[in-house]
Every structure is written in C-alpha cells, then in structure tokens.
Amino acid sequence: MTSPNDPQTRPHDVLVIGAGGAGLRAAIAAAEAGADVGLVCKSLLGKAHTVMAEGGVAAALRHVAPDDDWKVHFRDTMIGGKYLNNPRMAQLHALESPDRVRELEAWGAVFDRTRDGRILQRSFGGHSHPRLAHVGDRTGLEMIRTLQDRAVAAGIQVYMECTISRLTTGPTGVTGAVGYWRTTGRTIVFPAKAIVLATGGIGRAFEVTSNSWEYSGDGQALAYDAGAELIDMEFVQFHPTGMVWPPGVRGLLVTEAVRGEGGILRNAAGERFMWKYLPEERRHEYAADDAEAATWVTALSQSKQTDARRPPELSTRDNVARAIYNEVKEGRGSPHGGVFLDISYLPADHVRRKLPSMYEQFKELADVDITKGPMEIGPTTHYVMGGIKVDAETGATRVAGLYAAGEVTGGMHGANRLGGNSLSDLLVFGMRTGAGAAAHAQTVDGEPHMDPVQVRGALRDLEAPFERGSGESPYAVLRALQVMMQRLVGIYRIEADLDAALIELAELRRRWAEVCVDGGRTYNPGWNTVFELGNLLTVSEAITRSARQRTESRGAHSRLDFPDTDDAVWGHRNSVIAKGDDGRMSVHTAPVPDMDPELRTLLEADHR
Ligand SMILES: Cc1cc2nc3c(=O)[nH]c(=O)nc-3n(C[C@H](O)[C@H](O)[C@H](O)COP(=O)(O)OP(=O)(O)OC[C@H]3O[C@@H](n4cnc5c(N)ncnc54)[C@H](O)[C@@H]3O)c2cc1C
C-alpha cells in the first residue's frame, strides 16, 4: 500500500508551474521547441487570474489610432513605470505584443471588432492612444480559452489541483520540484531540467484585494528560497476602483474599462475631483475641461477620430488611487467610504454592451443598476510590479535552469503598471521564457538528480502542521497579517509604520511556525493555508524592507515622510531582495539596466 509520504515521480524536460496566461504561453513555446513539458496548477486548469482579466490586452496594432506605434507604447510604459522599468523588457514588450495578439487571433480568439472588421482597441489610463484589444469586459476568458486549447492540442501533460511547495537545487542549478495533490494530499516530485515559475501575484497579503485565494506569492517565495533575487517589491499596485459595498465583495475589481469608456469620478459633493490631481507635467495630455472630455467620449462611443484629449479619469492608476484616498480622508467620500464612478449618462444599451460583466456584477452583488446611477468604488490591492529578477531575452533567473514569466517577475513595469500591459507581458515573455527554458533543457544530459535530503525536508515540512497536536489556526495568523499589511504598508507609508510592520512580521512568523491543522490531507484548506501563509510572510517582509529602504515617493510607492520623487538618489536604482548566507533576508539596491542610446532619444523630451 502507498502512503502519502511515498511520492509519485514525474520527470519532465521543462516543468511549468502556473497555468495562467504566462504559464500556458511558456508551455506552448517549450513544447514547440521539442521539450517534454509538464504544466502544474494549484486550481483547475482555466481558473487562473488571467481568466479574471477584464479590460483588455495592450498592443500598438494601430487599428483605431494610426499614429500609434511600438515607440509610443514603449514611451508610455516607461513614463508610467517612472523610468524604473528594465528598458529592454519594455522595448521587447512594445515591439512584440502586436504579433502575440495577432497570433492569438489566428489561434481562434474572437476580439471585439472595428466597423471594418479589424480588432477593436479601447483607451486605458496612461496610454497615449486607444490600444487595448478586448472582448467586452471578458478579455481574459477569451485569452485563456484560446491558450488552453492550443496547449492541450500540443500534448502538454497537465497536473491540476497540484501545489508545488519546494524547488530543489544542486551544484548545477535547479533539479526539480516537490508538491502535493490538493485532492488527496498525496505527494509528488518532478525531476526537471528546467523550471518556469508563472504563479502570479501576492494580493492576499493585504486585507482589501481584487485577487483570489491563489495569489499567495508562492513563486516569489519559492524562487527566493532557491537563491533567486526579487526586485522592486515595494511597488504594489492599489487599483483605484474596487467595490466598497456590500462588505462581502469589498475589493472586487471594477475594471478600468469603465473609465476607458467615459466613466466620471465624483466625490460626495458632486465635484469631478480628478481635475485637481493631474500632475502638472502631464496636464497637457488631458482635456482642458468637461466639454473637451465629453467630445472625446462621444467620438469614442461612435468609433470616430477626434483631436479632443482624454478625460482626467484616465490618469495613471497610482495617481487616481491616491486622489480617491485623499478625497475620502478629507471627508468628501461616499456613504461606504469610497467615491462615485458614473457611466449612467451614456445610453443604457451601449453600457450593457461594452461592460456586460460590470452591469451584472453591480446588479447582482450590490443591487445597483449602473445604467441608471453611479457605482461606489475605492482602491483595492491589485497587482505587484516587483518580483523575480529575470533576463529580458530569456526569462532566466540567476539560478541556472530556473526561469520566470508573468506577474511573478519584476522589471517590466517599473514603479507602476499601465492597464492592459500585463496580458501583453504574459504573451511576450511567456513565449520567450518557454523557449529559453527549452533551450536550457537541451544542454542538460540525463535526468536531473533531486537531492534526497532536500526532498525529505520538503515532505517533512508538509507533514509538520499535522504532527504538532495543538496550536493556533493558520487562518488567525493570516487574518492578522492581512490587517497589519493594510494598516502599516498600504497606499501611504511612513518609516515608523514600516519599522512596526517588521516587528509584527517577526512575531507573525513565530506564530506561523507553531500553527496546527485538524483533519486529514484530502481537500484540507487549512493545511493548504499553512504553506501559502509562509510564502505571504516572505513576500510581506520583502515588500516592507524594500519600502523602508526607498526614501522617496515614486509610482505606486508613496512615503508621507519622503513625499518627493528623488531622482538624484533613487532615479536609477532598483531595490533588490536576496537570501543571505545566514538565511536572513537582505535588501540592497542595483542600477536599473542600461538603456540603448536610441531608446533614450525616445524618452528625452520626457526625462526629468
Ligand atoms: C480582476 C482582475 C482583472 C484584471 N484585468 C486585467 C486587464 O484587463 N488587463 C491586463 O493586462 N491585466 C489585468 N489584470 C492583471 C492580470 O490578469 C494578471 O496580472 C495576469 O493574469 C497574471 O497572469 P499570470 O499568468 O502571471 O498568473 P495567473 O493567471 O494568476 O496564473 C497563476 C497560476 O499559477 C498557479 N499557481 C500559483 N501558485 C502555485 C503553486 N504553488 N503550485 C502550483 N501552481 C500554482 C495558479 O493555480 C495559476 O494557474 C487583472 C487582474 C485581476 C485580478
């Protein structure tokens, strides 16, 4: 008879961990390069975050705005990222995203159309032109459906509801992964010549988030433990528009497409407050008044060209989130602690056609008809710009054989991500990383040897919470972590709070080491939470240490004690987190990678 401690063994050339857009695209590319590929995901195939993406995928296709091209997209991305982006990543992303979107279409994705039958594109904050290819407000669903079909057709072996809890390494780099089936609790090991991490973000570290239970920073923590570096972890994106009411759905995303289609933000006094918050140096890019903004919206809704500039609500996410936070703090908020977002002035059938999910979401969850009145919204933790440091060309980390793509990585988006740039990031770097991992696998002879001591250690750690007999519930520690991170490391930060957070994190880690779970291994969410909580503690510490180190405000990182952007000290520095030889977390800085002189000329007019 087998016991849960007798792991199954499934060797692969390339093991892809995560089956969202990045993981699927990487798996397809690795399989096309001839690798034997295993694809693991901890929920059902198709249930990744990518499926939740609403607004669209950014690519300079030039179907709606002939003046657009990759150079403008590159420039917008760098400006949005406050110049902390890895410039080569931003360049590759802007250059290659049109081909990746066309490829999706060729594989069967059905996008919304222009009148002459081409892929329609919509506006989003910080993009100079309408650039987001979309399918109503269900773009991610179409994307994942298309990629999934392609992956299954490529014969990729899929392991669903299987959580990877440890990576193993040897003298030549990564050797495999250890995990368990969530359904049965049985353990499994994957010897692999190359591994791609595509596990997404960290939103569950905070109390209010648009992210699902899956975003527990697993990939960031697995990579950190295996010796990779994390960069720019202080840059956590608080999306300006999440639901604030009723309490059960607080944080649920209200897509930026609402503002992209003309949604107006007002405070409790009815004031269109975003006029006050446009950064002076970018004000010329926005409409001068309500009349010009209305002209822009009318032209958009009729798919017509216009010289009118975009409305102030389409400022970058960091700026809009801070504006809302200020309005509420200064007493001009809505009854449930948010502000109002109104699209009901447009024809009802147009709103229902362009924003079907938002219409249903508010009707069903809040009993609000968005074609008749405003929504109540407020900021919600949404995305992490920081993550695993990778090579722009191949997705390689500094651990040989370990690769990463998608939201789990850092560098592409700098200090603030523009909406729509994640889905295109997944496609561009998913493909590059899958190819990079497959090329590495070809250089490895024979099946990699997984160190039995490391494997036994990983299996013991999985068993430990059952063996303690008594102890605190992991849910109590998780809740305490989320409340603390929201309170001390949220939209606005200050040194005293960050110091207090580090002390609390040490105490939470001590409590975590003593948690205990009841029941067996079969579908035991408490047991799953123990492992995820450990990862959330690691990423929370990385966020807090990086936030404490960066003594300036930039993009999504706002310090009340250092409110200005300090280009002289921080303008060209990434934050870097690594595990020291003593096992402790260290934080330092490294220069932003050099920019090709030709690229620099594209930014010169803008560079402060
Ligand atoms: C509500 C919402 C709307 C969004 N809208 C947009 C949009 O319109 N445009 C845009 O560009 N971006 C959007 N984003 C952001 C974008 O969806 C995500 O950044 C992107 O989908 C991340 O893709 P990914 O492949 O990196 O990760 P995911 O799609 O989240 O996939 C992660 C995968 O990793 C697996 N996994 C995690 N940990 C483990 C583990 N330990 N073991 C095994 N498997 C594991 C998960 O099961 C999952 O399969 C939105 C995000 C949200 C939450």
Q: What is the pLDDT of residues 127-159, one digit of tens each?
A: 999 999 999 888 999 999 999 999 999 999 999
Å from CA of 410 to ligand 1 middle: 14
Residue 308 has pLDDT above 60, yes or no: yes
pLDDT of residue 1: 47
Q: Which of 122, 166, 186, 239 is catalytic?
A: 239
Q: Is 558 in the pocket of ligand 1 (CB under 6 A)?
A: no
Q: Which of 167, 422, 531 to mutate to test the pocket of ligand 1 (most atoms within 8 A of CB)?
A: 422
Give the position, in ligand 1's atom list, of the atom nearest the Cα of 199: 34
- Tokens 């054989």 locate to 401
Q: Do 217 and 270 reside in the same domain of the chain?
A: no
pLDDT at 137: 84
Structure tokens at 512: 């975590």
The answer, yes or no, to whether residue 311 has pLDDT greater than 90, is yes
**With bands split at pLDDT 50, 70 and 90, how would you rate the model's confidence at 14?**
very high
Does residue 608 lie in a domain region? no
> Could you identify the atom of ligand 1 that is nearest to the CA of residue 210?
53
Please say which residue of 411, 433, 451 terminates a domain.
451
Domain edge (last residue) among 430, 451, 472: 451
Q: How far is CA 74 from the centre of its chain?
A: 19
Q: 259, 317, 550, 554: which is the annotated catalytic residue?
A: 259
Q: Tell me, what's the pLDDT at 124?
A: 87
Angle at 79 between CA 75 and CA 82, to 5 degrees: 140
Please give the distance, rounded to the nearest whole angstrom, from the Cα atom of residue 200 to the centre of ligand 1: 5
In-domain check, residue 96: yes
- Identify whether 391 is part of a domain: yes
User: Are 387 and 323 in a shared domain?
Assistant: no
pLDDT at 117: 92
Q: How many CB atoms lie within 10 A of CB 525?
A: 13
Q: Which residues contact 337 (CB under 8 A, 6 or more apart)?
A: 244, 328, 378
Q: What is the mean pLDDT of the chain?
A: 95
Cα 416 off chain centre by? 11
391 lies in the same domain as 376: no
Query: How far out from the chain centre does Cα 72 lie?
Result: 23
For 163-208, the pLDDT digits (tens) are: 999 999 999 999 999 999 999 999 999 999 999 999 999 999 999 9
Query: Is the domain of 190 the same as that of 313?
Result: no
Tell the residue nearest (CA) to atom 30 of ligand 1: 49
d(C-alpha 394, C-alpha 427), whole Å = 13
Per-residue pLDDT tens digits for 246-259: 998 999 999 988 99
Q: Is 604 part of a structural domain of the chain?
A: no
For residue 50, pLDDT over 90 is answered with yes
pLDDT one-digit tens code per residue, 581-593: 999 999 999 999 9
**What is the rounded CA–CA span in Å between residue 278 and residue 55?**
23
Rounded to the nearest angstrom, the distance between the alpha carbon of 48 and the centre of ligand 1 is 5
What DSSP element (H or E) covers 169? strand 162-170
The pLDDT, as a whole number, for residue 606 is: 58
CB of 21 within 6 A of ligand 1: the answer is yes
**pLDDT given at position 522:** 92
Structural domain span for residue 572: 453-590
Instruction: Assess whether pLDDT exceeds 90 at residue 472.
Output: yes
- Is the CB–ligand 1 distance for residue 210 below 6 Å? yes
Residues 550 and 433 in one domain: no
Looking at the fold, whether 267 and 234 belong to one and the same domain comes out as no
Q: How many residues does the chain have?
A: 608
Share of the chain above pLDDT 90, in %: 91
- Percentage of the chain beyond pLDDT 70 is 99
27 and 161 belong to one structural domain: yes
Identify whether 596 is part of a domain: no
Residue 551 has pLDDT above 60, yes or no: yes
**Domain check: are 302 and 406 in the same one?**
no
Model confidence pLDDT, tens digit, residues 503-537: 999 999 999 999 999 999 999 999 999 999 999 99
The yes-or-no answer on residue 259 being catalytic is: yes
Q: Which two tokens stand for residue 286?
A: 């926005």
Picking from 53, 66, 51, 54, the residue whose alpha carbon sits closest to that of residue 118 is: 66
CATH at 339: 3.90.700.10
431 within domain boundaries? yes
Asked if 239 is an active-site residue, the reply is: yes
Q: Shortest CA distance to 394 belongs to which of 8, 144, 33?
A: 33
Do 525 and 417 lie in one domain? The reply is no
**CA distances, 202 to each of 344, 382, 388, 447 (Å):** 34, 9, 12, 33
Q: How confident is the model at residue 528, as a pLDDT?
A: 95
- Verify that 295 and 205 share a domain, yes or no: no
Same structural domain for residues 42 and 146? Answer: yes
Q: Which amino acid is at 594?
A: D
Closest residue (by CA) to atom 44 of ligand 1?
41
Q: Which two tokens stand for residue 87?
A: 């410039």
Q: What CATH number does residue 12 fall under?
A: 3.50.50.60
- Residue 2 pLDDT > 80: no
Which residue, 107, 114, 106, is CA-closest to 134?
114
Q: What is the CATH number of the domain that holds 500?
A: 1.20.58.100
Residue nearest to atom 9 of ligand 1 (CA): 420
Strand pairing category for 387-388 and 230-231: antiparallel
For atom 14 of ligand 1, the residue with the nearest CA is 53
Residue 602: inside a domain:
no
* Domain finish residue from 319, 345, 380: 380
Residue 599 within any structural domain of the chain: no
For ligand 1, whether the C-beta of 536 sits within 6 Å is no
- Residue with CA nearest ligand 1 atom 50: 53
pTM of whole model > 0.85? yes
Together in a domain, 361 and 391: no
CB of 420 within 6 A of ligand 1: the answer is: yes
Predicted confidence (pLDDT) per residue in 63-105, tens digit: 999 999 999 999 999 999 999 999 999 999 999 999 999 999 9
Q: How far apart are CA 179 and CA 458, in angstroms?
A: 9
Provide the domain count of the chain: 3
Q: What is the mean pLDDT of residues 13-32?
A: 98
Q: What strand order describes the sheet that includes 236-243? A: 236-243, 375-384, 339-342, 264-266
Contact 54 CB / ligand 1 (< 6 Å): yes
